[in-house]
Amino acid sequence: MAEFTLDLNDDQKQVRDWLHGFAADVIRPAASEWDEREETPWPVIQEAAKVGIYSLDFYAQQFFDPTGLGIPMAMEELFWGDAGIALSIVGTGLAAVGVLANGTEEQIGTWIPQMYGDANDVKVAAFCSSEPDAGSDVASMRTRAVYDQAKDEWVLNGTKTWATNGGIANVHVVVAVVDPELGSKGHASFIVPPDTPGLSQGQKFKKHGIRASHTAEVVLEDVRVPGHCLLGGKEKLDQRLARARERAQSGGERVKNAAMATFEASRPAVGAMAVGTARAAYEVALDYARTRTQFGRPIIDNQGVAFQLADMRTQIDAARLLVWRASWMATTGKPFESAEGSMSKLYASETAKKVTAQAIQILGGNGFTREYPVERMHRDAAIYTIFEGTSEIQRLVIARTLSGMPIR
């Protein structure tokens, strides 16, 4: 088991510097354009694929880093470049994590490569869980999956929303209800292969931030997928549902559903994204405070500005430490006994919102214009306290874990 350390090894430093260079040289120069266009930045994704960043091999190497720091380090550097473009580059990862968390070895080997494509023909994937009436309240999910035993097919019907890459993805991973009586415990995840009839893109959302990332509804109308597209297989699902029914009758312990397994695995990574955005805004504000003069001196000479920067840096470092701790715990198999994963996501998300707002304040009127990137960073930061579990949901998870009580 890898010991927890704050020192990156030489290989990690090399990867970090490589990613930082790509973020500085390729992502940042394109950030404003794709934010304005509100379109998927396919040329940037292709450049990432050409150098090996957008690939299964790269993410596998980071995912299996024995220290657990590979993924959060990568997320921080890419999102330091720009959150919208970075999310377009890494958005496929949530679907891939869904397959890794719930799929068989054969499913992992079959579907994850198809999510990425190659440098000459890049593809993306989408993880579809939220619904118009079921976001944080996953128990209210309405999308149904019914098994057609005669054909060994699952039939999916429903509407998903807030799906990154929804409708434009080569592979969709869809969470659906297979046993309505079990609530959130009666969910399962399904692969919807490319060009499957009945799947279509609904509304594409025009967003406040992360505009370079495609977000849309996914409509499923009598979508038929083969039995082998049920992640984990039917035998495993039947066993899990049977245990859930027994525990429901006896009032026993809760069983994690497929969507929550994916979110738990990805929350520290989302925290790292938030750290990257916060760090980017802090660095812009620090540089501005050093060079902007008022009343004959740099504004950083004023305690009101200097103390804000001190707080910003302290909060960013604290957020990174929480993310690294949770990532190390997840990789080394240590249970989140105090909801450390949710802690990391909560604190980093709130820090990103606060730090980007402070950066605008330090830049004054300039910070409020699109001539400086902190305005965009502040818009982007708003998403971190919302997606993959709102800050309120993170607090609920933490409070329930600490108290052992069904707090509502």
Positions annotated as catalytic residues are: 388
Closest CA to 95 of 212, 198, 192: 192
Strands 171-177 and 125-128: parallel
Closest CA to 301 of 289, 285, 311: 289
CA distance linking residue 199 with residue 256, whole number of Å? 27
Total number of residues shown for the chain: 408
CA distance linking residue 370 with residue 377, whole number of Å? 10
CA distance linking residue 285 with residue 77, whole number of Å? 18
